[in-house]
Structure formats: C-alpha cells, structure tokens
Amino acid sequence: MIRIAVNGISCAYGCFPALDGVTFEIARGDFTGIIGPNGSGKSTLLRAMSRVLKPSRGAVLLDGRDVYAQDPRSVARRLAVVENDGRSEFGFTVLDLALMGRLPHLGRFQRESAADVEMARACLESTGILHLEGRKITEISAGERQRALIARALVQEPEILLMDEPTSFLDISYQIDVMDLVSRLSREKGLSVVVVLHDLNLASQYCGSIILMKDGRVLASGAPGDVLNQANIREAYGSEVMVVRHPVHGRPHVIVLPKPDPAARPRPVERGRIHVIGGGAMATRLMGMLSARGFSLSAGALNVGDGDWSEARRLGATVVEVPPFSPITESDMKGNVEAMVGSLAVVLANIPFGPGNLRNLEAAAEAAAMGMPLIIVEGDGVACRDYTGGKAAASLQRLASAQGDGIRVTRCPDDEAAVLAVEDLERERGAVVSGEGGD
C-alpha cells in the first residue's frame, strides 16, 4: 500500500532551485533513509512532503491525493514531522510539548483528556525523558529536546513519520534507542519512517532502502548494499571510503579514509612487490603503509567483500580472490603461492584464523620452503585469534621457528616492524645485486 508518492517534484527558494525532479514512493512499514551532503536538498524534500513548501513542479500525493488539496489537520493526523532547526517553543514544559501531538486529534475547543496525558507520558517514557516532564523545554539539553520532539511526533500517532537528522544531538546510546524505537514501530505497527541521516552507518544498519541525494536530485536509491558503495559516495561527497561488511549485522559499513595530503611529496619511485596475506581487515593498515612507501602489492587469498579485499583492490594490488564467506580451496591455495612468486617478500599479517583460511598458513609455509623471505606479524600472539582449536597456533609456531636450507623467516611484533623488515630485505637484495654486478 503506497502511502506517499513523490512525483517528479521540483522546489525553489526564490529563484534558487533546491530540488529538481525527485520521484519515489513510500509504502506502509517502509523504513527509508535519506542521505547526501550538506545542501543537497534533504530538508527541503521533507518540507515538501510535509506540506510546508509547495513544489513548483510535480506533486506529493498522500494516500493518492495531492497534500496541498488536503486539510492541514487531516494531514497532521496521518503524518508527523520531527524537524531539526533548533527552534524552541518558549515557556512550555516537556509534557506540554508532548501533549501538542494530540492537537490534530482534538475538536476545536476540546481539551486533552486524562487518556491523552497518559499517552503523552508513555511516549516520554519510551524516549527516556519522563523524569523531565515538568521542566521547561528551554532548560534542557539539546539531546533531551530532540527526544521531546520525537515524543511529540509519536503522541501524534501518525502513519508516517518524517525525521530530519533526529540523532544529531544524541549520544551513541540514545541514537540506537531512538532508531530501535522507530524501527520497532515500523515493524509492529506499520509506521512508515522517512529519516534524514548524516551517519551512513546508522542508515545502513536500520534502513530498508536509502535515497542518496546530490544537488537536489536523487543520485542513487535502493537497498543499502546497492547505494553505499565507493563510486556513489565518491560522487556524492567527494570522499574516499572503504566499504566493508559489518561483522555483526552483515550490512555495508563505511569507513572514511583520510584525504590525500596535497603537500605530501610525490610517491617514491616504484619499489619491489610485496605479497600480503591478509583477512578480516587486519592487513589494511599494513598494506596502506607499504603502498605509501612505494611498494607495489599483491594479496591473497581474500574473500570478496572482506575489508582487506576492498583495500587491496583500491591500492591496485593483484588479488587472489575467494567467493564471499567461502573457504579457501586447494586450487585457491596454489593460486596464492603462484602470486607470491617473484615478490620481494611475503608478509603474513596478524589475521584471525578459522577453518576457512587455514590454507593461507599452508601457502605461507610453502612459500618459505621455496626460499621466499617470509615476514610474520605476531601482534598480541596467535592464541587470541585462533578459531581452529589450536591448529593455526601450532602451524604458525612451526612456521615461525622453521629453519633449513634457504629458509628465511622474520618475526615482527607489529606492522611498523614488518615495514622495517621489508626495507631491510630490499637493501640486502640491492647489495647482493650490486655485489654480483661488481664481480
């Protein structure tokens, strides 16, 4: 059941165009996020949907009829808005403010009943501010006021809830509380939620679909996994990000990367290639450090979607890929060893081991046996990242103490030490080559 249809609307402030041909639909129980950089038109869009700003073209249909053809009180019975413009209604208490949510439901001269007051108090309870019911809303914190405004919107018992950055003044615990509360109402009561969010990860975690705005237009829309990718975020925000799968809820998780320093010296001349054995985003920092120093990279075997996989690709590495969440097969392992051949060194990052990636340890052992220098980053020790019941720890122990013809294993406490070890090897290699040349 479509509740709101936004049909090709354009809006302007004077002659300044703020929205240009925006179209989408919101059904019962939808939880839709609106994201986009500052000034992209998100608040304007909510104003147009809530009958505050009339579109110059197109229309917003509420239950099939243009909102502007409907009585404002009747719209207010179905649609509530939590604005974010810092306005405060002077003199009112928190309870007064919450009770205002009943107004569209009361007759012209009708006063709130005891049931209305109970309901308002219940909503203050659910937003965690019942203890402040008697306080003036000018005398509470911004986060508390934000929760009072959310309570007022809930008191309105709307079918559609529009919220403009409702979490911007809330600490992380209340952000989650507010999002959990509205997402429960959406699931259990069919409330349609449209929420403008700055936090892309909050949007990813809660929204069924996301609309990404830029310059008054919809740049992308769809499921979080379709919208939150490197290309879209670069185009909308001009930011470089890494998108990984969140370890708990499995949705995309956006990590913003530092902007390149324009004053930084140009990259040093190409150095040799280092093969990094990563996984679980544990090699991301190390690969960045090596790449920044001019080493080229290869990496593997990595599951598609892993943080290290996307970082390796971003850095232009050759990657030995394994399908998402799949174990590394014998042939992946061989491919990984082949990719190591010709590299200056193989670095085994301090990655977690499970049954699925034990073959990465076998590949490292094979490389060492073939005479390739192996650098092991030990971190806090393998015990705390061994999910194989001790198998990984035992193999790593064997590998770390491996000795024999041409075997060269260096153990390093951390990423910094591994980079130094790589540079030592490079110097040694250079010395050997020039030494041979002098003969």
Q: Which does 331 bind (CB under 5 to 8 A by kind): ligand ADP, Mg ion, none?
A: none
Name the residue nearer to ligand ADP (CB basis): 28 or 198. 198
Q: Which does 350 bind (CB under 5 to 8 A by kind): ligand ADP, Mg ion, none?
A: none
Tokens 């986060």: give the residue: 143
Q: Which does 300 bind (CB under 5 to 8 A by kind): ligand ADP, Mg ion, none?
A: none
Tokens of 4: 């709101």
Name the residue nearer to ligand ADP (CB basis): 44 or 298. 44
The CA distance from 165 to 88, in Å, is 16
Lay out the site mask for Mg ion across 252-291 (x = CB under 5 A, - = otherwise): ----------------------------------------
Residues numbered 28 to 57 that lie near Mg ion (CB under 5 A) are 42-43
Least Cβ distance, residue 290 to ligand ADP (angstroms): 39
Based on the shown chain and the rule CB under 5 A, indicate whether residue 336 belongs to the binding site for Mg ion: no
Contact between residue 36 and residue 213 where contact means Cβ atoms under 8 Å apart: yes
Q: Which does 40 bind (CB under 5 to 8 A by kind): Mg ion, ligand ADP, none?
A: ligand ADP
Least Cβ distance, residue 164 to ligand ADP (angstroms): 7
Q: Quick one: 401 exposed, middle or buried, by C-beta within 10 A (0-12, 13-18, 19+)?
A: exposed
Q: For binding to ligand ADP (CB under 6 A), which residues are involved?
A: 13, 16, 18, 36, 38-44
Name the residue nearer to Mg ion (CB basis): 236 or 340. 236
The CA distance from 224 to 221, in Å, is 8
Residues 6+ apart with CB under 8 A from 208: 30, 31, 32, 223
Name the residue nearer to Mg ion (CB basis): 51 or 275. 51
Residues facing 258 on adjacent strands: none
Least Cβ distance, residue 199 to ligand ADP (angstroms): 14
Q: Which does 278 bind (CB under 5 to 8 A by kind): ligand ADP, Mg ion, none?
A: none
Amino acid at 203: A
Least Cβ distance, residue 211 to ligand ADP (angstroms): 11
Name the residue nearer to ligand ADP (CB basis): 144 or 165. 165
Least Cβ distance, residue 97 to ligand ADP (angstroms): 23
CA 427 to chain centre: 41
Least Cβ distance, residue 249 to ligand ADP (angstroms): 26
Contact between residue 42 and residue 86 where contact means Cβ atoms under 8 Å apart: no
Name the residue nearer to ligand ADP (CB basis): 85 or 188. 85
| C-alpha closest to that of 352 among 428, 280, 408 | 280
Q: Which does 322 bind (CB under 5 to 8 A by kind): Mg ion, ligand ADP, none?
A: none
Based on the shown chain and the rule CB under 5 A, indicate whether residue 183 belongs to the binding site for Mg ion: no
Least Cβ distance, residue 52 to ligand ADP (angstroms): 11
Name the residue nearer to Mg ion (CB basis): 42 or 275. 42
Amino acid at 51: R
Name the residue nearer to ligand ADP (CB basis): 36 or 278. 36
The CA distance from 251 to 270, in Å, is 37
Tokens of 284: 């991301």
The CA distance from 230 to 252, in Å, is 11
Least Cβ distance, residue 16 to Mg ion (angstroms): 15
Amino acid at 351: I
Q: Which does 401 bind (CB under 5 to 8 A by kind): Mg ion, ligand ADP, none?
A: none
Amino acid at 429: R
Least Cβ distance, residue 205 to ligand ADP (angstroms): 21
Based on the shown chain and the rule CB under 5 A, indicate whether residue 146 belongs to the binding site for Mg ion: no
| C-alpha closest to that of 200 among 248, 173, 236 | 236
Name the residue nearer to ligand ADP (CB basis): 56 or 329. 56
Least Cβ distance, residue 43 to Mg ion (angstroms): 3
Name the residue nearer to ligand ADP (CB basis): 211 or 374. 211
The neighbour count for residue 56, using CB atoms within 10 Å, is 13
Beta strands in 28-109 (DSSP E): 31-35, 57-62, 65-66, 79-82
Tokens 């991301």: give the residue: 284
Q: Which does 38 bind (CB under 5 to 8 A by kind): ligand ADP, Mg ion, none?
A: ligand ADP
Q: Which residues of 230-269 are buried (b: 16+ CB within 10 A; e: fewer)?
A: bebbeebbeeebbbbbeeeeebbbbeeeeeeeeeeeeeee
CA dihedral 389, 393, 395, 401 (to 10 degrees): -160
User: Positive or negative CA dihedral for 87, 93, 96, 97?
Assistant: positive
